[in-house]
Amino acid sequence: MPVYVGHVRGLLLGRDPTDFARVALVRYRSLRDFLVIFTDPAMQSGVDNKFSSMAYTEARPTSPVISLLAIKLIMALLLALVGVLGWIRIGNHAP
């Protein structure tokens, strides 16, 4: 499940190929899943490509389409509001 999805809005660093329209940041379900993928022999065959690609870096500003951080923050604030309202209501009916 993506944690962040955004539209590319320009270029800060690197060349400007126009083949990027969106970016996504994905979080692994667990450390175990990450390690299973990372230690898979098929993944190991691409290690040379990974290190050769590190010579080139791009930085692109994006504008969010989906951000689970914002959703989590909104849910936390709503739960806090419900808790405070419940605490106030219980406090008013105390003997």
Is residue 45 situated within a structural domain? yes
Domain count, the chain: 1
**What is the side-by-side order of every strand in the sheet holding 22-26?**
22-26, 2-8, 62-67
pLDDT in tens, 5-51: 889 888 888 877 667 788 888 888 888 988 888 888 887 777 777 77
**Is residue 80 a part of any domain in this protein?**
no
Can you say how many angstroms the Cα of residue 68 is from the centroid of all Cα atoms in its chain? 7
Per the CB < 8 A criterion, the answer to whether 68 and 5 are in contact is no
**Residue 77 falls within a domain, yes or no?**
no
Q: What's the chain's average pLDDT?
A: 81
pTM for this one?
Answer: 0.48
What secondary structure does DSSP assign to 9-56, as a single string? ---SBS---S---EEEEE--S-HHHHHHHHT-HHHHTTHHHHHHHTTS
Considering the domain boundaries, does residue 36 fall inside one? Answer: yes
Q: Which domain holds residue 15?
A: 2-67
20 in a domain, yes or no?
yes
